[in-house]
A and B are shown apart, each in its own frame.
Chain A
Amino acid sequence: DIVMTQTPLSLSVTPGQPASISCKSSQSLLHRDGKTYLYWFLQKPGQSPQLLIYEVSNRFSGVPDRFSGSGSGTDFTLKISRVEAEDVGLYYCMQTIQHPRTFGPGTKVEIK
């Protein structure tokens, strides 16, 4: 199975300040079809996970442009340019290149 790691595991951010989460995979997520199957999700308190970013850098419909994803191969980053109060929750990266799909352990983002 592909192992996903995330750093940091928790983050306390002042509103309006940037935040960054790193995600690493134990194998390359670049598929022979040319796509890289790295996804980012946010799980707000008491809610189901919601898709933020797909295939490394594509923002899902309705996701604010303060969220951006980057990376390649095995190293990826989610950035929030200016954190807002509504961004609190657990952020998960996930690989979907092979089964079983695997998630990172999650990064808890809270507001200072």
Chain B
Amino acid sequence: DVQLVESGGGLVQPGRSLRLSCTGSGFTFGDYAVTWVRQAPGKGLECVSFIRSKPYGGTTEYAASVKGRFTISRDDSKSIAYLHMNSLEIEDTAVYYCTREGVFTPRFDSWGQGTLVTVSS
């Protein structure tokens, strides 16, 4: 079965850093782009970061709200995508989900359970 599992969330002070991981299983991780989507408490969904698969250049995209502070990367040998979050702000408090985008399969067909990041002093 296709599975995505996020980890690394927690409580962090404003200005500090955190690294989230998204581990895939049940499919060839390197064949898929990965998107991080977040949901602030009681709010809607926001795509914050995207990384293409290596065959498509492995290039990245960021939402304006996180550009320059967040960095997405991937290690296909471990089937993991990372979201490095620096200079965290209170507004970054959210559940962070990872999801995949395939070329020959519907995009966003599988989501992880999410990991909660709380930025607070």
Contact = CB atoms under 8 A, between A and B. Distances in A.
Interface string A74-107: 0000000000000000101010100111111110
B63 A100 contact: yes
Contact of A100 (B47, B113, B114): B47
Interface in B14-48: 35, 37, 44-47
A48 B113 contact: yes
B104 to A, nearest CB: 12
Contact of B44 (A50, A96, A99, A105): A105
A97 B46 CA distance: 15
A99 B50 contact: yes
A54 B101 CA distance: 12
Interface residues of B, number: 21
A67 interface: no
Given A48-B111, A103-B45, A106-B44, A60 B50 contact: no
A94 to B, nearest CB: 7
A102 B47 contact: yes
Contacts of A43: 45
Contacts of A99: 47, 50, 61
A51 B64 CA distance: 25
A111 B45 CA distance: 23
A3 B59 CA distance: 24
B107 A49 contact: no
B106 interface: yes
B44 A51 contact: no
A1 B48 CA distance: 13
A48 B44 contact: no
A60 B47 contact: no
Nearest to A92: B45
Given A39-B108, A41-B108, A60-B106, A49 B45 contact: yes
Interface of B: 35, 37, 44-47, 50, 61-64, 97, 101, 106-109, 111-114
Interface of A: 1, 39, 41, 43, 48-51, 54-55, 58, 60-61, 90, 92, 94, 96, 99-106
